[in-house]
Amino acid sequence: MQQRALVERRKGHRIGFVPTMGCLHEGHLSLVKLARSRADLVVLSIYVNPIQFLPGEDFARYPRPVERDEALCRAAGVDVLFYPDRDQMYAPDHSVIIEETLLSRGLCGASRPGHFNGVATVVAKLFNIIMPDVAVFGQKDAQQLRVIQRMIRDLNIPVEIIPGPIVREADGLAMSSRNRYLTPAERQDALCLRRSLDHVERRLREGERDVETLRNEVAGLLACVPAARVEYIEFVDDVTLRSVVRVAGVVRVALAIRIGSTRLIDNTVLES
């Protein structure tokens, strides 16, 4: 992969990169289109990164439909599929990680300690291997996007990060590889995420700006879905990810819940 990237760069070709853990869906393919619009060569990686999973999480059962993913990549016009195995990515005695210490504290980082260390480390490794000019990350994982942006700024990594919008199913559920874990009943319960975000946007249009009020209203909506266990309901500054008490400027409302054994996240941007 490194040799191919060097050859392409010597030809003056721009490399666009889409990092994934596989089990591809239309959300991933929308990122491929964005990369294609900004690059001559599109590389998509598939790697289920073990060091970003906590003990007891779904690393072992994370879906890996290899042949289906390869077919989707061909149909989407991906030029190179980079599909390493664990031994190629991590030496048995690997001892270096990258730690972001500010943006990763709250939201998902609060309940998944070490998760973003794993994310930052594998993304930095992939950048070193693939040497992209641009890389595309979806905004459903908004905290991940901000952590990666901070990493490339602080470590002077010469990659342009392009945010990709959230892609949703027809009923509003954000596309996610983990959606396939849901039973039909759980799938319907999961729509409470989008309903909650719609409610916040509607209340904002009506003039409500107080975060405590909005959070309590969302908590009430989620409480009406017995299967939904709330992990967090947060309103944060969209750049710093610091909690806010009023919706002023650009604020992101982010939700994390569990439906059964499946952890789901969603978010939207609010502009006062």
Q: How many CB atoms lie within 10 A of CB 269?
A: 12
Helix (H, G, I), strand (E, B), or coil: what is residue 125? helix
Beta strands in the chain (DSSP E): 15-20, 41-46, 80-82, 134-138, 160-164, 228-237, 250-259, 262-271
Amino acid at 132: P
Structural element, H or E, at residue 222: helix 211-223
Closest CA to 203 of 169, 253, 239, 257: 253
Do 40 and 34 contact (CB within 8 A), yes or no? no
139 Cβ neighbours under 8 A, 6+ residues apart: 145, 163, 164, 165, 166, 267
Q: Is 50 helix (H, G, I), strand (E, B) or coil?
A: helix
Backbone angles phi, psi at 18, to 5 degrees: -125, 105
Catalytic choice (13, 25, 28, 199): 28
Cα atoms in the Cβ-side hemisphere of radius 13 Å centred on 64: 11
C-alpha pair distances (Å), 194 with each of 49, 168, 174, 183, 212? 28, 10, 8, 18, 19
The CA distances from residue 6 to 22, 156, 160, in Å, are 25, 20, 18
**Is residue 28 annotated as a catalytic residue, yes or no?**
yes
Residue in 1, 94, 79 with CA at minimum distance from that of residue 41: 79
As annotated, the active-site residues are 28
